[in-house]
Structure 1
């Protein structure tokens, strides 16, 4: 962001504050952004508090513009300091739980729909601005959206309101400088006998103690919406033999509700937040069941209520009155039921937001009161017996048998990648329980206990079993999550069980190192992190910042020097985890490599860059080598390209003079009188050993090239003429370059998928003994289990047991992924990625660049 951008921010904020009313604009907004301009330009002094009329805003803004017209200083990236006032696109994923206990009725549309999002932003505890969430999508209990915020090094708190646009508009305006508590008490909604008109307002908060950094991927997750109301269900399934439910009604509900709770330390309400001036004078409209609902009713939603004194419980407590036909009578009688669960923290008459209260009618033995009003103003009816289940709707999983219930607030339970990382999940139960390790199928293993430890995770019941705490005993150094499972079982004859997933997330960056061509440019890395992350480079020529989601985008300038450039990129996340990624930029390399092949037999590469000068079985390979996207100054492998020359004298009389300027000696499949002579083979090995930047690629199928194989000391070879299967790739630490980190498979390219097998073209191939030659690393094995394609790193020799891996012909066992499919050099299969990496290793070795 430059100075002009900062001034545009000031202008926008001063001329358009959607949720402020009146004829003046508070000066605090100007001060807030002038401080950020001061940081950018260093030319301001403290401005006294003023009262600025809206008509004077533009002159003030122009005044700032003229003062800064000569300011040339631009912000710099990757300094480790947060740049103030930079516009940031933040992404949000927020959960909103199912508002229903299993086996009871599902949600109504109003309680689960989200039509709009407003984000109220506080900096250092003071209100600054409100923004609207954009690109809103909802699915599977999650809402996703993004919003434009402004970077700051000061602590930030976000109040996120769902279905809150009208509430902001219909309440007193938020003033810059308002505290969090002052904003909370301003935002209220009326409650009438008919309930809430429209979708239910919800609230979530998120704190960023270190501020908002423009260089961090601000992907905000792991928070839950709290609905501002409670849901009440009545279940009469157990008494249908002598009672038919006819109506449900609440008495003495509050006539207003507060959208933002006063206590915001957790995802669960612990005390009610009753707006100042609210009166408990609402008797809700009677709900009459349909035929299909005759034994169970939901859809009664109430604002929070405080517990009255014991003396006032009958006359002042919010209560539920049901009407029904007792014992076949044609007259409705009425029964009072109170919010009296007997559970600690839930006193008589208290109703908390985002809770679900389920009244289970267990028996009806007498006729009730004649009117609903009479029932509401008298003690609970003795003729009815009922129990109440109090369920926090942020409990994501709950099971119940009608009498007992067992629920958990988080499932899966996520842990950060570091050793010692912990997470606690609340348990909602009216029974005791034990824990047990389990298989992925949910089958219990080991002994049930209140404490578990398997060397990977420990799980402890804490706070009297109202929570479980999971701790990682090891660090996750993998690129995938570590997953274990447990079962919670109730102690009342094991009638209830919950299957819980524990997931320790990975933190890392792929690739683990970055190699950059001399021409510079941009590239990408994949960051695996369970929390927002950012990056810092220690070199000015290499910058990196968050792109989209888990993608890190880096940019490097051109290297015009004569030496390699190196540096280090550090990626941190908000969990305190850190990854260090070294990067290296090659020197400008206009070197054109001389590649020499033998013009006889099969798969020679021919003269010049034309693909059709190569023998047909090498045209797939030559297409890859001559495509500028692959091998060039701007290609995946940085070089000046290749000069293809060849031997035409039979037998091939290679000697020191012929080989002097060759970089890569490619001994394709020759035989008979065309084979390299014994002297030529010896000269070739000498040539190879004289310079560490020389590479030999030699084919050994069909009993060909025996002289050169003898000169290399590789003679334990078996030749085959069958179609016994494909050639499986070997995935291990010695072959990572060819499967993952090479130029054609590193991110943003795709690694070769394990398992992968190369096709067998025409049944003729050879395998060399793995046991006899431990210095040769198998890349592909043959169908009989020995080495078909391998590399000797120390001698810089690539051994090819089937020259047809360089062919674009389909042959036997072909699939779209297991052979080179074209002669244009398009990399579109795992086979072409592998061949690209094999020649990428050979090219970089010949250039003296560490592959």
Structure 2
């Protein structure tokens, strides 16, 4: 039976919340049923949350091409609630700890019920899966008012040995629902949803060199700890790995060997924490996280060892090792027998050619049978101006991939977006350029359907509208008025010119005509930042300088 309380440590958790009252809750969750009734007394709300887990199989539809089923399983769920920082509602490291919510969840389910306190401040709900032990340890060290940044730096998973995929039953995952106003009227229709992101990266290896028989591999310079919650987040991805103090192990530390799971492949066996590989490789390549692959070259009876870096072999640019990413290594060419030990290969000059694809498994990827279709991201967002962006498309279907159609959300034709090229070959990572025209005064979106065999993947593209601002001249104003009315990009800065005559006057400021209030006042060349997604009417006013 789940404890009948909202706060795990009610004394300390409430110590900084003098304006809040303790809530009396009675719950009837059980460990085997999520559907049982919940009796609640007090200022609280029960909400159902659905988790989207990369790798989880969807009924009657394509499945995500990611980790094995057991590693997409959610065994435990914890919810930590933070006061949202209004100055940065989307900043993952901002906010202060409020309480640990009571959760009703059945192991293996992707939905759960949670009891949320009705509070006078907006809340960010941090959902943590498969890390109950770490959460319990954390809650023994923090109290209400702790900064979210300090929680991120404290909620860690440590392991100084290789992860064993054959015994793994769940990778720690994180997701959050921001800026929830949980008040008496709070009633999210259909419940809430959250996307979970794994804290580990995965490395897969495929051999495409006919003169080489791959048998095993080692992972060099892994990290021994990682942060369960990232300290940066774009909404779909991390920009950089989250660096944890003391995570780096001694140079030349290696995990393995990891043996082939099928002929010439090592799939779903190598998992590792995030690593700042770009910085480490730039200082000393021997500090970079890398692989040493092992096998028999050209019929030899002696094993050869070859170093493979996690980098773009065309540009020689290293990849950071980032959470929820799959680094898919393909050995393409070997010309010589390699060294006879893994350490010699690690320290020596690489004599192997390979390709490395870095894919965010939380982004677009689908599979059907043995064929896969992947894109580097399946969501693009543009400002209102003319622009373009590039995504990578990959498929191993022998017929390659093709853009089936581009249409609006209601299946309407669109003329403001193009995608080139229209198709790509198999086993090649093909850049796809998305171009958009300048937007008008309405937000808009489009769907790009990419097809490979009987697999279809949809890319969602959105573009913000321009903002209409109207400027009017005050009847008592002096000086020449320049009308700057028109459509503008949001979040840009508009600079109004000084008067060209009657120098006894100067600007008093901008006034919002809907409220009559001064928005901003600057003597000499006043400016204004155009608000995000708003239509407002501003008036420029002058005053006589004494």
| Interval containing the TM-score (normalised by the shorter chain) | 0.5 to 0.7
Structure-2 separation of matches of 1:176 and 1:499? 44
Provide structure 2 residue ranges, at least 5 long, that are not aligned to the other structure: 25-40, 85-94, 395-401, 420-430, 463-532, 535-546
Structure-2 separation of matches of 1:99 and 1:312? 39
Once the two structures are superposed, what CA deviation does each residue of 1:684-705 show, in whole Å capped at 9, x if it has no partner? xxxxxxxxxxxxxxxxxxxxxx
1:487 aligns with 2:456: no
CA deviation after TM superposition for structure 1 residue 184, in Å: 0.3
Structure-2 separation of matches of 1:235 and 1:337? 12
Q: What is residue 334 of structure 1 aligned with on the other side?
A: 305
CA deviation after TM superposition for structure 1 residue 223, in Å: 3.5
Which of 146, 150, 153 pairs up with 1:185? 153
CA deviation after TM superposition for structure 1 residue 396, in Å: 2.4
Which of 184, 194, 197 pairs up with 2:162? 194
CA deviation after TM superposition for structure 1 residue 358, in Å: 0.4
Q: What is residue 228 of structure 2 aligned with on the other side?
A: 259
Q: What is residue 296 of structure 2 aligned with on the other side?
A: 325
Paired residues of 2:364 and 2:377 also in contact (CA < 8 A): yes
- Normalization by structure 1: what TM-score? 0.41
| Paired residues for 1:566-645 under 5 Å | none
Q: What is residue 816 of structure 1 aligned with on the other side?
A: none
Q: Residues 202 and 247 from structure 1, CA distance in 2 versus in 1: closer, same or farther, beyond 3 angstroms?
A: same
Which of 188, 194, 216 pairs up with 2:187? 216
Structure-1 separation of matches of 2:181 and 2:64? 44
Q: Residues 86 and 158 from structure 1, CA distance in 2 versus in 1: closer, same or farther, beyond 3 angstroms?
A: same
Which of 232, 238, 243 pairs up with 2:212? 243
| Paired residues for 1:320-719 under 5 Å | 320-341=291-312, 348=318, 350-379=320-349, 381-382=350-351, 384-397=352-365, 407=375, 409-410=377-378, 428-429=391-392, 444=405, 460=417, 486-488=448-450, 499-500=457-458
| Paired residues for 1:10-25 under 5 Å | 12=5, 16-17=8-9, 25=11
Q: Residues 501 and 194 from structure 1, CA distance in 2 versus in 1: closer, same or farther, beyond 3 angstroms?
A: closer
Paired residues of 2:63 and 2:367 also in contact (CA < 8 A): no
CA deviation after TM superposition for structure 1 residue 430, in Å: 6.2
Structure-2 separation of matches of 1:429 and 1:91? 36
Once the two structures are superposed, what CA deviation does each residue of 1:365-394 show, in whole Å capped at 9, x if it has no partner? 211121111122233x22x21011110111
Q: What is residue 123 of structure 1 aligned with on the other side?
A: 83
Q: What is residue 227 of structure 1 aligned with on the other side?
A: 198
Paired residues of 1:87 and 1:148 also in contact (CA < 8 A): yes
How many residues align structurally?
402
Structure-2 separation of matches of 1:214 and 1:200? 36
Structure-1 separation of matches of 2:329 and 2:347? 19
Paired residues of 1:456 and 1:472 also in contact (CA < 8 A): no
Q: Residues 109 and 398 from structure 1, CA distance in 2 versus in 1: closer, same or farther, beyond 3 angstroms?
A: closer
Q: Residues 153 and 338 from structure 1, CA distance in 2 versus in 1: closer, same or farther, beyond 3 angstroms?
A: same
CA deviation after TM superposition for structure 1 residue 485, in Å: 6.0
Which of 257, 263, 276 pairs up with 2:245? 276
Paired residues of 1:406 and 1:496 also in contact (CA < 8 A): no
Once the two structures are superposed, what CA deviation does each residue of 1:186-232 show, in whole Å capped at 9, x if it has no partner? 10111222326642101111102544554423655453211101010
Q: What is residue 298 of structure 1 aligned with on the other side?
A: 268
Once the two structures are superposed, what CA deviation does each residue of 1:423-452 show, in whole Å capped at 9, x if it has no partner? x99964069xxxxxxxxx995589xxxx99
Q: Residues 457 and 129 from structure 1, CA distance in 2 versus in 1: closer, same or farther, beyond 3 angstroms?
A: farther
Greater Cα shift, 198-207 or 106-115: 106-115
Once the two structures are superposed, what CA deviation does each residue of 1:385-428 show, in whole Å capped at 9, x if it has no partner? 1011110111223689x9x98516448x99xxxxx99xx99964
CA deviation after TM superposition for structure 1 residue 295, in Å: 3.5
1:94 aligns with 2:51: yes
Paired residues of 1:204 and 1:225 also in contact (CA < 8 A): yes
Paired residues of 1:485 and 1:499 also in contact (CA < 8 A): no
CA deviation after TM superposition for structure 1 residue 153, in Å: 3.5
Relative CO higher for 1 or 2, CA cutoff 8 Å, sep ≥ 6? 2
Q: Residues 335 and 169 from structure 1, CA distance in 2 versus in 1: closer, same or farther, beyond 3 angstroms?
A: same
Provide structure 1 residue ranges, at least 5 long, that are not aligned to the other structure: 1-8, 19-24, 41-60, 62-83, 415-419, 432-440, 476-482, 505-574, 577-851
Once the two structures are superposed, what CA deviation does each residue of 1:561-614 show, in whole Å capped at 9, x if it has no partner? xxxxxxxxxxxxxx99xxxxxxxxxxxxxxxxxxxxxxxxxxxxxxxxxxxxxx
Structure-2 separation of matches of 1:245 and 1:337? 13
Which of 173, 178, 185 pairs up with 2:141? 173
Structure-2 separation of matches of 1:357 and 1:243? 21
Structure-1 separation of matches of 2:303 and 2:233? 44
- Higher strand content, 1 or 2: 2
Structure-2 separation of matches of 1:272 and 1:31? 33
Structure-2 separation of matches of 1:470 and 1:187? 44
The structure with more radius of gyration: 1
Paired residues of 2:365 and 2:457 also in contact (CA < 8 A): no
Once the two structures are superposed, what CA deviation does each residue of 1:796-825 show, in whole Å capped at 9, x if it has no partner? xxxxxxxxxxxxxxxxxxxxxxxxxxxxxx
Aligned partner of residue 128 in structure 1, secondary structure: strand
Which of 20, 25, 36 pairs up with 2:20? 36
RMSD over aligned CA atoms reads 5.0
Q: Residues 496 and 408 from structure 1, CA distance in 2 versus in 1: closer, same or farther, beyond 3 angstroms?
A: farther
Paired residues of 2:65 and 2:361 also in contact (CA < 8 A): no
Q: Residues 189 and 453 from structure 1, CA distance in 2 versus in 1: closer, same or farther, beyond 3 angstroms?
A: closer
Once the two structures are superposed, what CA deviation does each residue of 1:324-349 show, in whole Å capped at 9, x if it has no partner? 111111211111111112799x9525
Q: What is residue 3 of structure 1 aligned with on the other side?
A: none
Greater Cα shift, 356-365 or 125-134: 125-134
Paired residues of 1:254 and 1:305 also in contact (CA < 8 A): yes
- Normalization by structure 2: what TM-score? 0.61
Structure-1 separation of matches of 2:141 and 2:125? 17
Aligned partner of residue 134 in structure 2, secondary structure: helix
CA deviation after TM superposition for structure 1 residue 308, in Å: 3.0
CA deviation after TM superposition for structure 1 residue 265, in Å: 3.8
Q: What is residue 525 of structure 2 aligned with on the other side?
A: none
Q: Residues 105 and 410 from structure 1, CA distance in 2 versus in 1: closer, same or farther, beyond 3 angstroms?
A: closer
Structure-2 separation of matches of 1:456 and 1:444? 10
Aligned partner of residue 256 in structure 2, secondary structure: coil
Q: Residues 460 and 130 from structure 1, CA distance in 2 versus in 1: closer, same or farther, beyond 3 angstroms?
A: farther
Structure-2 separation of matches of 1:179 and 1:330? 59
Q: Residues 295 and 198 from structure 1, CA distance in 2 versus in 1: closer, same or farther, beyond 3 angstroms?
A: closer
Paired residues of 1:243 and 1:324 also in contact (CA < 8 A): yes
CA deviation after TM superposition for structure 1 residue 461, in Å: 6.3
Paired residues of 1:408 and 1:426 also in contact (CA < 8 A): no
Aligned partner of residue 373 in structure 1, secondary structure: helix
Once the two structures are superposed, what CA deviation does each residue of 1:465-508 show, in whole Å capped at 9, x if it has no partner? 67788999999xxxxxxx9864348xxxx99995538799xxxx
CA deviation after TM superposition for structure 1 residue 106, in Å: 6.3
Aligned partner of residue 141 in structure 2, secondary structure: coil
Q: What is residue 121 of structure 2 aligned with on the other side?
A: 154
